[in-house]
Amino acid sequence: MIDAHSAQHPEPTPFPGPASNPNPLHVLAARALRRAYGSTLALDSVDLDIAAGESVAIMGPSGSGKSTMLHTLAGIERPDSGSVMLAGTGTAPREITALGEGARSALRRESFGFVFQSGLLIPELTAVENVAMALMVNGVPRSAALPKAVQWLGALGLAGLEERRIGQLSGGQAQRVAIARAQVTGAKVIFADEPTGALDSATGAEVLAVLMDSTVGRGNTLVMVTHDAQVAARCDRIIHLRDGRIVAEQHTAAPASTPAPGAVN
C-alpha cells in the first residue's frame, strides 16, 4: 500500500504521458475477415479501415458479430481467414492475425488498452494497484508504476480514492479506474466493449465524456462496441453489422470532447 497523498510524484497533468497526433493513416486495416462458430457465421468477409485518432462505434443486433469484430481487431481471437494489419510508429506494419498466442498477448499488453462493461478489475487490489498492475506486467517496477497510476487516477477525477478497493467505489468510479488502467501504458488504440452498459444514464454520460476526452481527445484511437445509439453518436463513425456483414456506415457530426472531471486545464 502507498499513501497516495504523500507519494513523491510530479503534479498531476490532465492526462499523463505524451499524446499522439491525429493523422489520416490507417492504424488498423482488416481484410476479408471470416469467423464461424459451428454453422453460425459471425464475420462474413468483412473489410474495415480505422484511422489513427478516429473513434469508431460498432453497432448491431445481438448475434450480429459486434464482439467478434472487436476481439478479432484486438488480437483476442484469430479469424478463420482474412487479416488484420496494425500500423507501427516508426516500424513496419504488423499482421496481428499472423502472430502466435504469445506474441498477440504481448501486443495487447503493450499496444492496446481495454475497457469492458464489467471493468474486469481485481477486487482484492486498490484502485491505484489495479492501474499500476498494467505497467508492472510489462516490467515496470512497482516504485515507478504506482506514481504514474496516481497521476492517471487524479486526471480522471479520482484523486483521494486511490487506496479504496473496487468494492468501495461506485460503478462510475470503477469504470474510471478501468479507463485509467487501459491507458496508463501509453496505448494508442483503446477497445471498449459496452463501457457504459452497466451504468445509469447520467453516470454513463459522465464516464463516456471521460473516455472520449482521454482517448480521441488526445489523438489516440477508440474502437467501441455499443447498443446505445446516443453513445455511438459521440463517435466519428458508426459501423452497423448484421449477420456478420457491414450493412451500413455512418459518419457523424460528433460533438467536441469535453474536459474530464478532475482535469487540470
Tens of pLDDT, residue by residue over 115-163, are 988 768 999 999 999 999 999 999 999 999 999 999 999 999 999 999 9
Report the pLDDT value the prediction gives residue 253, as an integer from 0 to 100.
75
**58 band by pLDDT with thresholds 50, 70 and 90:** very high
How many residues are recorded in the chain?
265
Report the pLDDT value the prediction gives residue 255, as an integer from 0 to 100.
53
Q: Please state the rounded mean pLDDT for residues 78-103.
A: 88
Report the pLDDT value the prediction gives residue 87, as an integer from 0 to 100.
87
Residue 12 has pLDDT above 90, yes or no: no
Residue 199 has pLDDT above 60, yes or no: yes
- CATH 3.40.80.10 is right for the domain spanning 26-251: no
**45 band by pLDDT with thresholds 50, 70 and 90:** very high
- pTM, two decimal places: 0.86
CB 55 within 8 A of CB 213: no
Report the pLDDT value the prediction gives residue 142, as an integer from 0 to 100.
96
**Domain locations in the chain?**
26-251
